Amino acid sequence: MTLHDAGDLARRLAENAEAVCRRYLSAGRRLGNYWLVGDVRNTPGRSLFVRLHDTANGKAGKWTDAQSGEHGDLLDVIRESLGLVDFRDVADEARAFLSLPRPDPIPSSQDRPVRERGSASSSEAARRLWAMSGPIAGTSVEAYLRRRDITLLHGAGALLFHPHCYYRPDEDSPTETWPAMIAAVTDLDGTLTGVHRTWLAADGRGKAPVDHPRRALGGLLGHAVRFGVASDVLAAGEGIETVLSLRQVLPDLPLAACLSSAHLAALIFPPLLRRLYVLRDDDPAGDQALATLHARAGDAGIELIGLSPRLGDFNDDLRALGRGALRAILHPQLAPADVARFLEAADT
């Protein structure tokens, strides 16, 4: 599915906007130049409106949910109303609809049951995306990580691969699909609360050539992408690649990638935690996160130790200087007990 194909499908659907609404938003009804329904998942109501014809205020096929603030086009309607994740399935459904000689009549409630009331949350969407993703072995995710010298991937079950993950720059742009690294964001009990998407080039040589190749979906605040189960010791940082760089020399140290400085500062501490290592990012936001965590850790009786890279971040250290140098950089910064427990034990 190319960018052109997606745009063409969206345009053709917009030319048949009312028919699309009657098929996929059958719980709604027409009012003037709009189709009104509860939400994009076909819940009865009036908070979502779809523009049926071009006007001076906007194009046909565009919709907005006044309650949630969501917006999109008719490809999004097909995706959400049917609960689809893979864009190929959405495109196939759109093509099947457009091949009909004329619009189908409004389905009766017996023919097409209405979904349960209440819109699916972003966390539910994250769970659907996670369920549709697969192992990273032999994929562009593995290739991407290896190009960053991240090759020890045991215990990296928090990472999956999706071959055709949606990417949409803004509401007026057509939907694209790219391979993506899907990372599970979980709470302390291991329950999935969200996902983080990193869109990749098809060959894994880098990120996809889009404006914002990283985006999160679902509940992140206080949670993290976790590698290992923390008890008394944990190392936390912002980026997935940064914390995985430490895993190359400290394979048994539990790690948490919080995905941003704000979320790092809000990390919920495991109940048995006694020492927290924080992977420093050399910028004002990183400094503020470290200061906030230092105050919170002190109040909780947790020892906090900042870990500083020699270069820009620990992945820069790993790639430019190698594992031996990274071990040497970390050795004097670790508590003596953790040198024996995590660093020296990795050699045995």
b/e map 161-188, b = 16+ CB within 10 Å: bbbbbbbbeeeeebbbbbbbbbbbbbee
* pLDDT of amino acid 122: 77
Domain range for residue 240? 221-348
Boundary (domain end) residue, out of 57, 87, 120: 120
38 CB burial (10 A radius; 0-12, 13-18, 19+): buried
For residues 38 and 60, membership in a common domain is answered with yes
* pLDDT of amino acid 348: 56
Q: What is the mean pLDDT of residues 58-70?
A: 82
Number of domains in the chain: 3
Place of tokens 């430490």: 246
Q: How far apart are CA 90 and CA 235, in angstroms?
A: 40
Boundary (domain end) residue, out of 91, 120, 149: 120
Q: Are 317 and 307 in contact (CB under 8 A)?
A: no
Q: How far apart are CA 4 and CA 119, in angstroms?
A: 30
CATH code where residue 66 lies: 3.90.580
DSSP character string of 187-228: -TT--EEEEEEEEB-TTSSSB-SSS--EEEEE--TT-BEEES
Q: What is the mean pLDDT of residues 108-129?
A: 55
- Of the two residues 58 and 245, the one the predictor is more confident about is 245
With residue 256 as reference, give the H or E element that holds it.
Answer: strand 255-257
For residues 229 and 210, membership in a common domain is answered with no
Predicted model pTM: 0.66
pLDDT digits (tens, 9 = 90+) for 316-336: 999 999 999 999 999 999 999
pLDDT digits (tens, 9 = 90+) for 3-41: 446 788 888 999 999 999 999 999 999 988 889 998 899
CATH code where residue 180 lies: 3.90.980
For residues 155 and 237, membership in a common domain is answered with no
